[in-house]
Chain A
Amino acid sequence: MNSIGLAIKLGPADLAKYPFLEEASEYIRETRFAIEELDRPEMDHILRRSVDILETEISAGKVYTNLDKYEIEILSFLVTLIMIKSIDLEPVTKKHSLLEAMRTEKFLAEDLFKEKSLPKKKLLLHKIFQELFDIDIHFDLDLTIFRLSVPDYLMRASKMNEQEWKLINRSVHSGYVYIDTDEAVRLIRSELSNLIYDRIKTMKIPLVPERVKICAEELRKKFSIYYTYRKHHIVSDYPPCIKHAIEMMNTGENLPHSARVMLATYMLTIGKNTDEIVTMFQNSPDYNEKVTRYQIEHLAGNKGSRIKYSVPSCKRLHSEDLCFATVDCENILNPIQFGRKKANAQ
């Protein structure tokens, strides 16, 4: 019996789709698979599959959707992680973690939607949502709708940028949020991705097999060119929130603290120096040069806590009533992207 009192277990077909589960690691242990075996020619198909997965994900930017036998899937999952560890390029690690999470999302949505057996559905929910991420999620009366607590929802949904995830756009009642299958699995994408990322980061491989090393080296050379340093675009115009703050400042209005932080961090990010920024605040009714200078240097990370502050996100500015978005702001997440977007369009 498992922990939710159901006399069913995940089968091999499930482990193929969810190779990050403890049961999959158990399988590897049971088969007494040793990592050195990857140097044997009969393991070539696993290596080729891992290379194929990474090519699809990193070069093509696509989710690898092929599903093979569970023995192959579980091993490929492991070998791919070893390969990424050997490639040792942070963007590759992050991209694979994300795309692997999206792959899981696809399988899980299908399983939760199509699976006929209710105990099996419940088991999947329990294994992935409860055991891995401590989310207490339940089916509602209609088996296509799930409910989870408001805090569980907020902790995850507030990290998403799309407005549809805002709590106000959800069905909320008596402490629960009601969502459909696709939304439920989308909600854990980031945690799944982090779980895979952590697996890669914490993996300790004393000796990487030679054949894996060769594949990894070839992939590293290939992928490196995608991640060369990207130059920042020149900011050609101020976004409306910044314009509004400057206009208010020019007319001697007393800007709230949050608007001052926005203005100063924005100016610092686009490369203005402290002196230039200090003069912007001269019209402020409570202007004090010494205090203003200290605060700007504090935001720049040169004084006090030595933490460099970023420009607040559009979402945050909106909630603080500092957003004055125009059509030019569409699809930007932070005021700093406004200028870049305009520069790109020119």
Chain B
Amino acid sequence: MSLKTSSDNSSFLKGLFREYYFKDSNSLGTPSMIEKREFGYMSFDSIMVRHLSFRNKKELIARLVQESPSDVYCSNGYYKFPTNSVQSKEWEGADLIFDIDLKDLNMPCSSEHSFYVCDQCGACNVSFLNACTVCLGRKISRSTIPCRKCLISLKKETQRLIEFLHGDLGIADGSIEIFFSGNAGYHIHVSDSEFKTLDSRARSDLVDYICGNGIMNESIGVRKSKNGFYIKFPKSGMVFGWRRRVASEFGINQSSISKLKRIVESNGGYSQFKDDLSAKAKSIGVRIDPHVTTDIHRIFRMPGTINGKSSLLKVKSTNLETFNPLDSACVLDDRQVYIRSKVNLKLYLHENYFRIKNSIERLPAYAAAYMICKGLADFIK
């Protein structure tokens, strides 16, 4: 959890999380080769514990019930010695992972449902300020409640990524798992064994492919010459991958030499066309977080665990079209509790609408936990 919580907030959340791990441990995803993975967790005191290893799911659950952490992580990599320091773990491979996060989609509606919470005193504002108006603290965190449009855009972006994984990279359905991150994004896990041994550089190239970074004029047949440029289409054609995407964008094919020439000229020549092509490729590419995919030693939020930024579950989606994260990921219980809300807010969770006022509110525990994790409310004993 990034936002500072009072001890009452922490003990309320800790109790709820513990109860979930005790009662519903079946939904906890067990990674393949569990004994080779590194586990870690963040406590409610913001202390990160890493380099843990468990022989089986039972051991892991026992630890989660005992500690009831705010966030639980598991490495995408597998190691010979997972509890050693990174240098001596002896890396054996890593699943390919992708993170689609709302912040990278630059949604125009984001300011309408974002709040700014002071990390020091917890005061909340609807607009960004350099310093907290209450305590003058300078560390301000942004807290976003994704709206319907945001959730739809996240799904669309995920769908576009899946198209790249299937169509271009040939990854089979059975090797791809889609998870709602538990907050404002989707995590895509690929377990195709062929990709497991790719190092960070190779994964970085893959990221650039998916994001649309680094495309060259030459790859679609626009070649530099002394007098400017000439067109010669590549021998391996224009019907696959990015060449197909760009060809369709410009309305050209392998025989459109004069049409492409006109397009380049109308752009102002080779260099200007290069800028236009880069911009087009970036707009076609998928907005994934490059750091997540390239990091082969990352400990990543574990499937089936609660996200401390929201109290929602990192949950698997088997049908992205019909999947509703605000229902499926809302797993905490519904006993009524009191909170002091810092904002006025309309909230949809678990098939219920809540009209929350900037005052004391009685809410189901799952909605109260969501507000507290977002830094927008405090628990009242």
A285 in contact with B198 (CB, 8 Å): no
A66 on the B face (CB < 8 A)? no
Q: How far is the CA of A175 from the CA of B171 in the complex (A)?
A: 7
Q: How large is the interface on A (under 10, 10 to 19, 20 to 34, 35 or more residues)?
A: 35 or more
Q: Select the stretch in B36-44, B67-75, B212-220 that faces chain A.
A: B212-220
Partner of B170, one of A158, A174, A320: A174
Name B294's closest neighbour in chain A (CB-CB): A319
Distance (Å) between the CB of A231 and the closest chain B CB? 30
B204 in contact with A172 (CB, 8 Å): no
B213 in contact with A168 (CB, 8 Å): yes
Per-residue B-contact encoding for A136-160, CB less than 8 Å = 1, 0 else: 0000000011000111001101110
Q: Of residues 196 to 223 in B, which have CB atoms within 8 Å of A's CB atoms? A: 197-199, 201-202, 204-209, 212-216, 218-219
Residues of B within 8 A of A159 (CB): 201
Partner of A151, one of B167, B195, B212, B234: B195
Residues of B within 8 A of A309 (CB): none
Distance (Å) between the CB of A167 and the closest chain B CB? 4
Q: Select the stretch in B181-189, B238-246, B369-377 that faces chain A.
A: B238-246
Residues of B within 8 A of A170 (CB): 219, 236, 241
- Pull 12 A–B residue pairs with CB atoms less than 8 Å apart, ordered by A: A154-B206, A158-B204, A164-B218, A168-B208, A168-B214, A168-B281, A172-B241, A173-B170, A305-B87, A318-B214, A319-B204, A320-B290
Q: Select the stretch in A31-39, A44-52, A69-77, A176-184 that faces chain B.
A: A176-184
Q: Could you list 19 further interchain pairs (A-B, Cβ under 8 angstroms) beyond the known A164-B216, A166-B216, A169-B219?
A: A145-B235, A150-B206, A151-B197, A154-B202, A154-B205, A155-B199, A158-B205, A166-B208, A166-B209, A168-B209, A168-B213, A169-B215, A172-B168, A172-B169, A173-B167, A174-B167, A180-B235, A307-B87, A319-B204
Distance (Å) between the CB of A223 and the closest chain B CB? 32
A25 on the B face (CB < 8 A)? no
Mostly, the A contact residues are mixed
Q: Of residues 268 to 320 in A, which have CB atoms within 8 Å of B's CB atoms? A: 285-286, 305, 307, 315-316, 318-320
Q: How far is the CA of A173 from the CA of B209 in the complex (A)?
A: 13
Count A-B pairs with CB separation below 8 Å.
119
A149 in contact with B290 (CB, 8 Å): no
Distance (Å) between the CB of B279 and the closest chain A CB? 14
Q: How far is the CA of A23 from the CA of B239 in the complex (A)?
A: 41
Distance (Å) between the CB of A262 and the closest chain B CB? 13
Name B281's closest neighbour in chain A (CB-CB): A168
B237 on the A face (CB < 8 A)? yes
B205 in contact with A166 (CB, 8 Å): yes
Residues of B within 8 A of A236 (CB): none
Q: How far is the CA of A123 from the CA of B371 in the complex (A)?
A: 66
Q: How far is the CA of A125 from the CA of B219 in the complex (A)?
A: 26
A258 on the B face (CB < 8 A)? yes
A319 in contact with B171 (CB, 8 Å): no
Partner of B216, one of A145, A163, A175: A163
